[in-house]
Amino acid sequence: MADWHVVPGGVTAPKGFKAAGIVAGLKPSGAPDLALIVSEGDAIAAGVFTTSYVKAACVDYCRQRLEARSTARAILVNAGQANACTGNQGWVDAVESADAVVKALDIPGDSVLIASTGVIGQRIKMDALKAGIPSLVEALSEEGSDAAAKAIITTDLVPKSIALETLIDDRPVRIGGISKGSGMIHPNMATMLAFVTCDAAVSPPLWQDMLRRAANKSFNQITVDGDTSTNDSLIALANGESRTPAITDAGPEAEKLEAMLTEVCIYLAKAIARDGEGATCLVEVNVSGAVNDAAARQVARTIAGSALVKAAIFGRDPNWGRIAGAAGRAGVTFDQNDLRVQLGDAVLMEHGQPLPFDRPAASAYLKQAAAGEYLKSDTVLIAVSIGSGPGNGTAWGCDLSYDYVKINADYTT
């Protein structure tokens, strides 16, 4: 049983954090488009960002700031314009965005991190952003997480939020998070933004290591369409306001905190995959029997990301051959005679050989999962074993529907 439980509040559930989200006029739709998360005091900051060589200005800005100092006070997020591929002026806009928050909050320079999401090639509407900063700061509150979660989304159908609480040294410690993402989602990283807050005290190197490992088990294990974004950012702040003893080394407290951080990241990552553009269901792929966990995760990612597997799931076709084929091309060595494939409760392949199965029942399972009816779940479960090794890994994706093409065919028009 987990050592934590769910609490309300998202990124403002941990002590010492406030958030806000407003309509600043950045989106043509008039939807909320500017968010701010603020810690009352300095917070240890960590980040994981896109591995794409084509990066938004906000990614370069945050990397530089985190290399220069290990603390931050605030995160500013704009939605509507990605500010990627915008040249030198995009960098100037990024710096001015952060400076506007520094001035409005009267906090030290270089203590604001930033993130952007929206259409690539479009600069931030700086006049609207600057005009909105005073109202954004005025709206900050300990109940502002939901507003912030709504203000960071683009094509998402729903905002994504979670908060968990555990005990460390007999004192409550909380981790909260919000995320956005629906399309242009693929590992390394998956267009997604995620922001995590924590009121534990933890050393900068340890917090960064925890976040990177958590990302590898969550956001780097989701895929919607095989495209990695220019703006992917996962930023985590830990401000120590729980007044628990500082966690500086590996040990039981560090393990408990990292487990809860990983759980928050997995929840948010699954919410992104579940909300994939045009998706009708979440797909969870569990792989076992690999030589190590990394190999298992690689096979799971490949299966979850296969366009043929995704299309078959949308068509409610239990085509196990596509699953087997994706496993075989994942770049992980295994004996095909060890391959086992299971869809829900139906074993489709064992010891590399096809098995007779109830095809109408398997198709019905896919239909029921898509309708959210199967065991009250909208998740299609695929279990694959590739041997007898100790490695296990999980990846999440979604089906590939006609609506995905419709959404992305006119994204900028």
Residue 127 and residue 119 in contact, taking contact as beta carbons nearer than 8 Å: no
Residue with tokens 């009352």: 40
Instruction: Specify the residue for token string 């040249």.
Output: 87
Q: Which of 191, 228, 230, 280 is catalytic?
A: 191
Query: Is 154 among the residues known to form the active site?
Result: no
In 3D space, the residue among 42, 178, 40 whose CA is nearest the CA of residue 117 turns out to be 178
Question: d(Cα 107, Cα 99) in Å, to the nearest integer?
Answer: 10
Q: 17-36: buried (b, 16+ CB within 10 Å) or exposed (e) per residue?
A: bbbbbbbbbbbeeeebbbbb
3-state DSSP of the chain: CCCCEECCCHHHCCCCEEEEEECCCCCCCCCCCEEEEEEEEEEEEEEEECCCCCCEHHHHHHHHHHHHCCEEEEEEEEEEECCECCHHHHHHHHHHHHHHHHHHHCCCCCCEEEEEEEECCCCCCHHHHHHHHHHHHHCCECCCHHHHHHHCCCCCCCCEEEEEEEEECCEEEEEEEEEECCCCCCCCCCCCEEEEEECCCECHHHHHHHHHHHHHHCHHHECCCCCCCCCCEEEEEECCCCCCCCECCCCHHHHHHHHHHHHHHHHHHHHHHHCCCCCCCEEEEEEEEECCHHHHHHHHHHHHHCHHHHHHHHCCCCCHHHHHHHHHCCCCCCCHHHCEEEECCEEEEECCEECCCCHHHHHHHHHHHHCCCECCECEEEEEEECCCEEEEEEEEEECCCHHHHHHHHCCCC
Decide the pairing of beta strands 171-180 and 346-350: unpaired
Rg (CA), the chain: 22
Q: CA nearest 220: which of 185, 195, 183? A: 185
Residue numbers annotated as active site: 191
